[in-house]
Amino acid sequence: MSSHTGKFGEYGGQYVPEALMPAIEELEDAYERYVLDNEDGFMNEFRQRLADFGGRPTPLQYADRLSERYDTDVYLKREDLLHGGAHKLNNALGQVLLAKYMGKDRIIAETGAGQHGTATAMACAHLGMPCEVYMGRRDINRQRPNVFRMRLNGAEVTPVTVGRGTLKEAISETMRDWAENVEHTHYVIGSVVGPHPFPAMVRDFQRVISEEAREQMRDRAGCLPDSVLTCAGGGSNTMGLFAEFIDDEEVDLYAVEAGGSSLAVDAEEGVAPNSATLSTGTDGVLHGSRTRVLQDYDGQIMESHSVSAGLDYAGVGPELADLVDRGRVTAVNVDDDNALEGFHRLSQLEGIIPALESAHALSYIENNRDELGDVILLNISGRGDKDLETVLEETHGRDIENAPDIETFGATGGFQ
Amino acid sequence: MSSIAEAFADGPAFVPYLAAGDPDYESSLTYVEALERGGADVIELGLPFSEPIAEGPTIQSAIVRALEAGMTPTRYFEFVADLDVDVPLVCMTYYNLIAQFGDDGERGPEAFVRRAAETGIDGFVVPDLPAEEAGPLREACDEYGCELVFIIAPTTRGERLERIMSQVSGYVYVQARLGTTGARTALSDRTAESLERITDWDVPKAVGFGISTGDHAQRVIEAGADGVIVGSALVDIVAQGVERGDPAVTVADRLEGKARELTEGALRGMPAADGGPHPERT
């Protein structure tokens, strides 16, 4: 049996009900054999399917107009062009394939923005596995197109109504399903969170982002970037983008979190109106690992908030929390208003409608250009089609300087 | 002999669970006291956590009610101090509340267990803390003379059983089936199989998950258990009282009645000594 590892400094570990521990040990063993040691050519098949089905490698694009605006070289890693429209497929395909190698016959997953749910549903259809996705009621309402996509791919979508009905509740509910059906079901967790081996394994499935990007930077720019930026919710695209740059000490790594409407917390109501876990969270235990979490004085987990459903989570990957503690990664945050501005800016300047998650990272450049050096690598982790309704609503209620005139849509009854 | 060991010493133990503060502080005190009148030998008293990943819908709802009524770890210890019961109390909670307990000078298991022991808690069961991560809590329990109960699941085998056996004290919580907590109409057929794996353990074996009637309790004891743990079937009574707006005294009577049914069921399951009539406890 494998040794008990999975610690990142003080963080990580395996804080789960005993019923799940045997499955987690089995998964640890499978991760080591198939992913780390490429047993039975698992990684070859994974890479081939990422290419054929997923469309990898994704391009690295020089962003002319952003570069001009900021008087610097801005390169975009286009994960929005991966099949499904976000980086999520890298992990979902890896885990569903691993489940097949392990002989499991059912897949469950949680989803927040719906991107991980759609990626898992696609991977399950592709590999012929039944799939059930748990999604918070509130997220179902704000991400309807993704719910429909999951259904089209044959997945069951089960609403979670407890709490505020977002990602935190969906993860808890998926863990409950797993505890009941653990003997034949694999839980495809959607980020670098949860008990070991999930944080390490999901990072290794997402690592392809930085393997490609580092190579592409050398080819295109002839150098490594001065700074690498991406958004961080749970942190899977973040760890995927950072993984291969961690040893390049001259490269600054920025994890851009959702500042929401405010960094202040309402302890009385147990609400943090942001998802800035790395910036404001404290050491705690959530969903199977020790990490930084948004919690009150007693240790009750707070409800987080972000205009972007995909960043709306009270925890963060333990490895990322450790990298921030060690000073290797800088945690910064961008609030809802600025994220919306970033969304409109990329749409207008580069013809790319980004996911609201990715818009946070872009927006950080706007106000912090001077600290980022001459060559910037920015991950566009996903495309924004899923967010159009949210952006329409949220832009309407705010004073967003660079937004197009959207009254036209209001007049046609497109939104309330 | 510890108080928990004594509670298991003469005949099968009935171990009920309620969430402290559900649906409010005062009613909850009377509900827990009613369990003792109904025959409880040990009481598992839940300290509500916002992410109870091992609980089914019934206990999740109880936890939400208790949290909304203002239950916190500090209030919980006041609650324990206010309780008028003579049976051992086991605190059931999730690890983050233990890890965060205390003030900024000193937070964690040591502060939590010290406070709990001072207040009258005899042991702990922490569903999201496997044996691998339990070192600091086990040490604190040893220091303050408290028991640390572990859960074994139908999936627990081999080395994992040994690892748990080396750390468990008080009793072992045998999870009768996979999944989360919740009352069931049918009893799991994995109970006997689960007990067979641990016949040589020298701690009492208490079976929980899905037990809701006196008949279930009887059959669990007949299968070789030393005790029965019942949570959701009791929490259901509290929830029903909230729904109907029943007075607390009515709900307490129902809880006492249900507790008695389960206690008597467990007694019926006890093997008769020398083929004679079942020994009765006083």
Shortest Cα–Cα distance, B125 to chain A (Å): 11
Check pLDDT > 70 for residue A246.
yes
Token pair for B255? 């809880």
Q: Is residue B138 domain-resident?
A: yes
Which pLDDT does position B281 carry in this prediction? 42
Which pLDDT does position A415 carry in this prediction? 46
Chain A touched by B222 (CB under 8 Å): no
Residues of B in contact with A17 (CB under 8 A): 53-54, 127-128, 130, 151, 153
Given the candidates 3.10.20.30, 3.30.70.380, 3.40.50.300, 3.40.50.1100, the CATH classification of the domain at A60-85+207-404 is 3.40.50.1100
The candidate with the shortest Cα–Cα distance to A78, out of A94, A49, A93, A56, is A56
Q: Is residue B281 domain-resident?
A: no
Q: What is the percent of chain B with per-residue pLDDT over 90, rounded to a whole number? A: 83
Which pLDDT does position B273 carry in this prediction? 58
Summarize pLDDT for B252-265 with one digit per residue, the tens: 999 999 999 999 99
The candidate with the shortest Cα–Cα distance to B89, out of B12, B181, B198, B4, is B4
Check pLDDT > 60 for residue A411.
no
User: Which of A19, A182, A285 comes nearest B96 by C-beta?
Assistant: A285
Residue with more model confidence, A120 or A166 = A120
Q: Is residue B278 domain-resident?
A: no
Q: Is residue B275 domain-resident?
A: no
Q: What is the percent of chain A with per-residue pLDDT over 90, rounded to a whole number? A: 78
Q: Tell me, what DSSP letter sits at residue A31?
A: I
Summarize pLDDT for A272-307 with one digit per residue, the tens: 889 999 999 999 999 999 999 999 999 999 988 899
Which pLDDT does position A384 carry in this prediction? 94
User: Which of B50, B152, B160 comes nearest A300 by C-beta?
Assistant: B50
Topology annotation, domain A16-52+88-202: Rossmann fold (3.40.50)
Residue with more model confidence, A14 or B2 = A14
Note whether A16-52+88-202 and A60-85+207-404 share their fold: yes
Closest chain B CA to residue A179? B179
Closest chain B CA to residue A4? B132
Which pLDDT does position A410 carry in this prediction? 55
Shortest Cα–Cα distance, A148 to chain B (Å): 27
Which pLDDT does position A168 carry in this prediction? 84
Sorting pLDDT into bands at 50, 70 and 90, what band is A414? very low
- Mean pLDDT for all residues in chain A: 93
Which pLDDT does position A218 carry in this prediction? 98
| Mean of pLDDT values over B166-175 | 96
Summarize pLDDT for B7-23 with one digit per residue, the tens: 999 899 999 999 999 99
Q: In whole angstroms, how far apart are CA A38 and each of A30, A31, A32, A240?
A: 10, 9, 8, 19
Q: Is residue B64 domain-resident?
A: yes
Q: The domain that contains B145 carries what CATH number?
A: 3.20.20.70
Question: Rounded to 5 degrees, what angle do the CA atoms B277, B280, B282 make?
Answer: 160
Residues of A in contact with B156 (CB under 8 A): 18-19, 21-22
| Domain that residue B143 falls in | 3-270
CA distance B166 to B155: 18
Which pLDDT does position B184 carry in this prediction? 77
* Selected residue of A298, A302, A303 to mutate for chain B interface (largest B Cβ count, 10 A): A298
| Structural domain count, chain B | 1
CA distance B170 to A291: 31
